[in-house]
Amino acid sequence: MSVPAGFRLATVRGTSQPAEDARLIELVPPEPPVPYPLGSHIDIELIIDGRPVRRSYSLVGEGPHGNVYRICVKRLPDSRGGSVAMWALAPGSQLPISGPHAHFDLALGRAEYLLIAGGIGITPLYGMALSLARRDAPCRLLYAGRRRSLLPFIAELESKLDNRLELFISQEGRRLDLAAEIARLHADGELYICGPVALMEAAKRAWAEAGRPTERLRLETFGSSGHRPAEPFRVTVRDYGKTLDVAQHQSLIDALAAAGIDVASDCMRGECGICVVDVIAIDGAIDHRDIFLSNRQKEESARLCACVSRAVGHVTIDTGYRPSLRRS
Amino acid sequence: MSVTIPAIAEGFARPDFPRNAWYAAAWDVELKHELLPRTICKQSLILYRAESGKPVALEDACWHRLLPLSYGKLIGDTVVCGYHGLRYNAEGRCTHMPAQETINPAACVRSFPVTERHRYIWVWMGDPALADPALIPDLHWNHDPAWAGDGRTIHVRCNYKLVLDNLMDLTHETFVHGGSIGQLAVAEVPFSTTHGENMVEVARWMHDVEPPPFWAKQLGKPGRVDRWQIIRFEAPCTIAIDVGVAPVGTGAPEGNRSQGVNGYVLNTITPETDTSCHYFWAFARNYRITEQSITTELREGVSRIFHEDEIILEAQQRTIDANPGRVFFNINIDAGAVWARRLIDRMIERETPPALAAE
């Protein structure tokens, strides 16, 4: 197996299923695992449809578990293909990893912490919650999902967090009131949130409406869940004169690349904004799945992040390619 | 914050200093409401006082393109990068990015726990969760009203452990500082070495000796003296030396120092790179404490004495650099230094993953 620069081969030691559609994967790196900051992730390179793609997965727990790093992957049949490949891993499988990297680290010594997890978004928050509870720091973990059986780590969290944990399970009739929870938080408190993009957008809105400073709201995205289920859509690209179909499990940027249309990108998580393209026309709707564009910009829908966002129907985009841009 | 695990960042090389420790980064008076760049334990930092006076320590590299933030400006409590204007608050969080309506939530620079105590600004270079201010070394003589004194910083081009070696055995006073504090007894009288979990003590009592010129002047009384040097090392890099003389027969060795003069040489040596360090020192005394002229005289006098050490230490480092692989040999007088190094090694071991420690 070829290992890209900056990556190294890790071996799957075991897998288990902490929730209905969640798989816990234990990875043994070639070197002894080292302690990592809470909220860290590793990057993994996968081959999907014959092309290498990179995905980021949060590390589960306060530190390495013995000699393994643990990640937890939700099965998303309509995702960009990563989860299907990850679910195919078995003990002994090898795959290139890099990291741990910390982009979502927990700042210590804050007046109070509010942690909000939506479903599989628990992965980076799990270790944070355990650590804060162990230090007896003022914190609450609000854990939301559709059904109890879909939420990993409930038992461990209940035993270690006690009344710091609150579950919001919509099937059981309990819904999260973001504005009310933010209002309860200490004026200098911080909110750490990870979950579906709709939850994070709602949290951003509620946070801004409460007049709280942006830098005290910390988000982690895993760039795959949208406002609506993924479905195939059609895209026309200005100046290439091409129209192509993006499959259900394919990302827009991957579909473009497969058709020879290059879009510069970096984080592949909908954070940095490098892959933003202009939307010229939309017959249908854009499903914005990034956190780079503001809510206002998403309503305007003049641009979209090609790495994670999708469309329904037929969208015409401009990647900025101009064949005429050349020395005459 | 991107790369996070020091052991990985250094390519698995075992560090020469523990990270889970408070290191003196500056004198209290050095730190103002402006950016002070300083490298501590091979990490470039910017230090400043927030408008409230509270000290701040941030990584000196913009998240975006790694321009040192020390090339930028401090506006209020916000650091503005001198390249593209990204802004960071005192916690290292990015609060502004040009030409976009949101801020990448990953954008931050590492912030380090920082505390002000005993006239120094201390930074914690390791796991912030372990940064307990109770672990700051005891240098209280620097601000205790029963004592008076002052000091300076020497930027020494040598590994910090060479300074520790120098202070853990004062035999060298006889040879390096013969004109002021040295005397043959310092090199010949036996000493005792004791150690605890994180401290080493080397005590040397010279009974019934002629005081060297420096101490004769401080005492201001004629005749022979009992002289003491009690060196206390607190891991990883702080050494407080209890020094003084008292007229023979007045009971100093038994604990009554009332007829003598007592000083503390306060030293804390912060690694900068593998071959340089910030050596913060002060001399505090418990006699004639209201006389500022003595404080100044002593500071200048000790500065001259320590300059003699600086010459030795830098020459030593140059020889080490020129002879890679050569080791030191220890003799009897090095017991204190050997223990100090051993306690440092233990601290490093405790924070190094087991398999790395085996290498």
| ipTM given for this complex | 0.71
User: Is B3 touching A (CB cutoff 8 A)?
Assistant: yes
Cβ–Cβ below 8 Å for A101 and B95: no
Nearest neighbour of A108 by CB, restricted to B102, B128, B353: B128
Shortest distance between the Cα of A173 and any Cα of chain B, in A, equals 32
DSSP strand pairing (A233-237 vs A310-318): parallel
Cβ distance A34 to B8 less than 8 Å, yes or no, reads: yes
C-alpha B141/C-alpha A132 separation (Å) is 37
Computed from CA positions of residues A165, A171, A173, A178, in that sequence, does the dihedral angle turn out positive or negative? positive
Cα–Cα–Cα angle for A47, A78, A301, rounded to 5 degrees: 105
> Would you state the pLDDT for residue B353?
62
Residue A163 is classified by DSSP as G
**How many Å apart are CA B102 and CA A291, to the nearest integer?**
8
For residue A193, what is the nearest residue in chain B, using CA coordinates? B105
Which positions in chain A touch B356 (Cβ < 8 Å)?
Answer: 32
Using DSSP's 3-state secondary structure scheme, residue A184 falls into helix
Cα of A223 to nearest chain B Cα, Å: 14
Of the candidates B91, B102, B123, the residue with the CA atom closest to the CA atom of residue B270? B123
Q: Given a cut of 50, is residue B114 above it in pLDDT?
A: yes
Across the range B130-148, mean pLDDT stands at 96
- The mean predicted confidence, pLDDT, of chain A is 91
Q: For B30-40, what is each residue's pLDDT tens digit?
A: 999 999 999 99
Q: Which of A37, A291, A293 sits opposite B4 (nearest CB)?
A: A37
Query: What's the mean pLDDT in A189-199?
Result: 92
> Could you tell me the pLDDT band of residue B224, with boundaries at 50, 70 and 90?
very high
> What is the per-residue pLDDT for B260?
96
A296/B89 touch (CB, cutoff 8 Å), yes or no: no
- Res. B12: pLDDT tops 70: no
Judged by average pLDDT, the poorest of B143-147, B156-160, B346-350 is B346-350
Question: Average pLDDT in the B133-142 region?
Answer: 97
Taking the Cβ of residue B354 and every Cβ of chain A, the question of whether any pair is shorter than 8 Å is answered with: yes
3-state helix, strand, coil in chain B (%, to 5): 30, 30, 40
Report the share of chain A in percent with pLDDT over 90.
68
Look up residue A42 and give its amino acid: I
Bigger pLDDT: A5 vs A277? A277
- Residues in chain B with CB shorter than 8 Å from the CB of A101 are 2-4
Sorting pLDDT into bands at 50, 70 and 90, what band is A1? low
Contact yes or no for B310/B156 (Cβ under 8 A): yes
pLDDT of residue A202: 93
Residues of A with CB under 8 A from a CB of B: 31-37, 40, 100-105, 107-109, 131, 135, 213-220, 267, 271-273, 291-294, 296-297
Predicted local confidence at residue B188, as pLDDT: 83
Burial class for B350, CB neighbours closer than 10 Å (0-12, 13-18, 19+)? exposed
B93 touches chain A (CB under 8 A): yes
Question: Measuring CA to CA, which residue among A220, A218, A169 is closest to residue A58?
Answer: A220
Confidence of residue B354 (pLDDT cuts 50, 70, 90): low
CA–CA separation, B289 and B146 (whole Å): 8
Q: Which residue has the tokens 């020091």?
A: B6
Give the per-residue pLDDT at B351: 85
Shortest CA gap B104–chain A (Å) = 6
Cβ distance B83 to B64 under 8 Å? yes
Chain A residues with CB inside 8 Å of B3's CB?
101
**Cβ(A99)–Cβ(A31) below 8 Å:** no
What average pLDDT score do residues B285-302 get? 95
pLDDT at residue A49 tops 90? no
Q: Has residue B358 got a pLDDT over 50?
A: no
Token pair listed for B298: 């002593």
Write out the two tokens for A163.
């009344």
Predicted pLDDT of residue B331 = 85
Q: Is the pLDDT of residue A60 over 50?
A: yes
Dihedral, CA of residue A289, residue A295, residue A301 and residue A305, to nearest 10: -40
The answer to whether residue B230 scores a pLDDT higher than 70 is yes
Min Cα–Cα distance to chain A from B117, Å: 19
Structural contact between residues B60 and B51, judged by C-beta atoms closer than 8 angstroms: no
What's the CA gap between B254 and B133, in Å, rounded?
A: 34
pLDDT at residue B11 is higher than 50: no
Q: Is B5 on the interface with A (CB under 8 A)?
A: yes
State what percent of residues in chain A have pLDDT above 70. Answer: 97
- Give percent above pLDDT 90 in chain B: 79
Is A104 within 8 Å of B105 when comparing Cβ atoms? yes
Structure tokens at B128: 């912030």
Instruction: Give CA separation, B243 vs A138, B121, B228, B257, B319, in Å.
Output: 47, 26, 6, 11, 31
Peptide bond into A32 cis (omega under 30): no
How confident is residue B7, by pLDDT bands cut at 50, 70 and 90?
very low
Asked whether residue A50 carries a pLDDT value surpassing 80, the answer given is no
Nearest to B118 by CA among B240, B201, B231: B240
| Residue numbers in B near A220 (CB within 8 A) | 105
Neighbours of B320 (CB within 10 A): 16
Buried b (16+ CB within 10 A) or exposed e, A144-181: bbeeeebbbbbeebeeebeebbebbbeeeeeebebeeb
Tens of pLDDT, residue by residue over B258-282, are 999 999 999 999 999 999 999 999 9
B328 and chain A in contact, CB less than 8 A: no
Contact (CB<8Å) B4/A135:
no
Confidence class for position A88, pLDDT limits 50, 70, 90? confident
pLDDT band at A203 (very low <50, low <70, confident <90, very high): very high
The per-residue pLDDT for A198 is 87
Residue B245 above 50 pLDDT? yes
Q: What's the whole-model pTM score?
A: 0.81
Residue A308 has pLDDT above 70, yes or no: yes
- Average pLDDT (A61-82) is 84
pLDDT of residue B173: 85
In the sheet where A139-145 sits, what is the strand order? A165-169, A139-145, A113-118, A190-194, A217-220
The residue among B234, B236, B326 whose CA lies nearest residue B15 is B236
> What's residue A326's pLDDT?
80
* Integer CA distances (angstroms), B146 to A13, A135, B282, in order: 63, 38, 15
Contact check, Cβ <8 Å, B101/A103: no
Instruction: Name residue, tokens 């692989």.
Output: B325
Looking at the complex, report in whole angstroms how far the Cα of residue A138 sits from the nearest Cα belonging to chain B: 15
Q: Write a three-state SS string for A117-130.
A: EEHHHHHHHHHHHH
What confidence score (pLDDT) does residue A105 get?
A: 83
pLDDT at B8: 35
- Name the packing angle between helices A154-161 and A122-134 (round to 10°): 20
Helix, coil or strand: residue A218: strand
Residue B50, token pair as written in the block: 């927030």
Min mean pLDDT across A10-19, A64-73, A103-112, B158-167 is at A103-112
Query: Contact B141/B149 with Cβ under 8 angstroms?
Result: yes
pLDDT at residue number B223: 94
Check residues B105 and B298 and name the one with the higher pLDDT.
B298
Mean pLDDT of chain B, nearest integer: 91
Is B94 an interface residue toward A (CB < 8 Å)?
A: yes
Confidence band (pLDDT; 50, 70, 90) for A55?
Answer: confident
